Structure 1
């Protein structure tokens, strides 16, 4: 079984981190095909404009991954950029890590909070929770006020800020689980859960495990309605945008 895990931004260190986290999540149950974008795609996705800039390259990468044998796909950005469009252009299941993490959280706890990077991400995540029908369980979206790329630049500082907000979510929000609201936080998940005594959920891990389950069950995206393709795909002309592939 092959699962394609795609980092929509052009940060090579983050693509490498996501690939490591995805392979750890898959264990021996699937082969992870990991990739990420190149410039001019932004090096981080921190708002609607960045997400829009990243989507065309992402759709092209998913098409090519499926042609190479990928049976399911994970979009490793917590904004879930272009998720509906991605489900249109490939047959296999496409998992957004925000949706995956929220669904896992509601199966483990009755209420959860999310800790993300910048304050500007808060309303975007709140809108996603509303769209996914999760607002009833979402207690709070907390921001550590760090840019995405600062997670890699100063991981110790980022870890300390995340730990503080996770404890606040537990003690002030009455959250029973906390979701890490950025793929760049995935390598801190286990340590933060052990340090805070609360279930901490990483969307990359959740997304990969759900992708493995869906692909293993032989499920594919429905093409008779919203995710159907209204014309012959061969008529579309797509630029072959470069893909940063991460070695096995």
Structure 2
């Protein structure tokens, strides 16, 4: 019987948002578990809501019989709380990527498609992980003004996901600037949304390029395959007794948010497709 990995993502269409098929080993399968009422974490308040939603999704994944949980975001929303809430391994793509880059090199950088307005997420990730000490820079290849164009049919984000040459070159310039100017010996892609272009960047970059989606997933496969779990306080219950509370919280929040808020990043088109949901990478999922 295959081991089942829960891939936690935000609500919306799932096409093009999974783990690259080449990263999934025989004997494993992935399934989406969507977080409910998780706004884009553009500030600390919305970040807190997103983390509550992610923890609830991890609890739901365990109830549904998954063998491990992958938080599908470099910012590792709710990672510590999710690990405390369930009795199966939980891996954040951010932490796994930092550990991998730190193992590959003495100095690494993060190069992200997002503007510097999102710097607080990267600052937190680096400060909360010892491997963050080896990060020499975070390079942002777009501006806040460009982020405001996401409602347009064609924008920097959709063009990056589609592998447009000018966006590939722009990201590569950021990578090579991190190498030449910051002394980086490896680079982490700063968003799981960059997975579709990761193979192209890895082939052309002068240093190793860490794709957080594939790296986080493989890290979790290793833990599940070895039968390892995260250490816990022996005085605490192995599974949180607050699952029903978290479920009630996110259900109430989803009712409140549904008609009053659009995502600050992933803009919906007239047919309901989000700008982040362009299918550009093959996935294997289990229902």
Name the TM-score, length of structure 1 as normaliser.
Answer: 0.84
C-alpha distance in 2 between matches for 1:159 and 1:6: 27
Q: Number of matched residues?
A: 239
1:211-226 superposed matches below 5 A? 211-224=220-233
Deviations 1:188-207 (A, max 9, x none): 11110111222110111111
Counterpart among 112, 115, 130 of residue 108 in structure 2:
112
Counterpart among 23, 26, 42 of residue 24 in structure 2:
26
Matched residue, 2:181: 172
Specify the SS of the correspondent of 2:16: helix
C-alpha distance in 2 between matches for 1:51 and 1:71: 26
C-alpha distance in 2 between matches for 1:153 and 1:167: 23
Are the counterparts in 1 of residues 74 and 94 from structure 2 also a CA contact under 8 Å?
Answer: yes
Specify the SS of the correspondent of 2:247: coil
C-alpha distance in 2 between matches for 1:227 and 1:96: 22
Q: Which runs of 5+ in 2 are unaligned?
A: 255-283
1:78 Cα shift? 1.4
1:6 Cα shift? 0.9
1:20 Cα shift? 4.0
1:234-245 superposed matches below 5 A? 236=245, 238-239=247-248, 241=251
1:19 Cα shift? 0.8
| Closer/same/farther in 2, CA of residues 168 and 235 from structure 1, 3 Å limit | closer
Specify the SS of the correspondent of 2:116: coil
Counterpart among 190, 194, 210 of residue 185 in structure 1:
194
Moved more, 192-201 or 27-36: 27-36
1:168 Cα shift? 0.8
Are the counterparts in 2 of residues 151 and 185 from structure 1 also a CA contact under 8 Å?
Answer: no
Instruction: Give the CA RMSD over aligned residues.
Output: 2.8
Name the TM-score, length of structure 2 as normaliser.
Answer: 0.73
Are the counterparts in 2 of residues 4 and 33 from structure 1 also a CA contact under 8 Å?
Answer: yes
Are the counterparts in 1 of residues 86 and 238 from structure 2 also a CA contact under 8 Å?
Answer: no
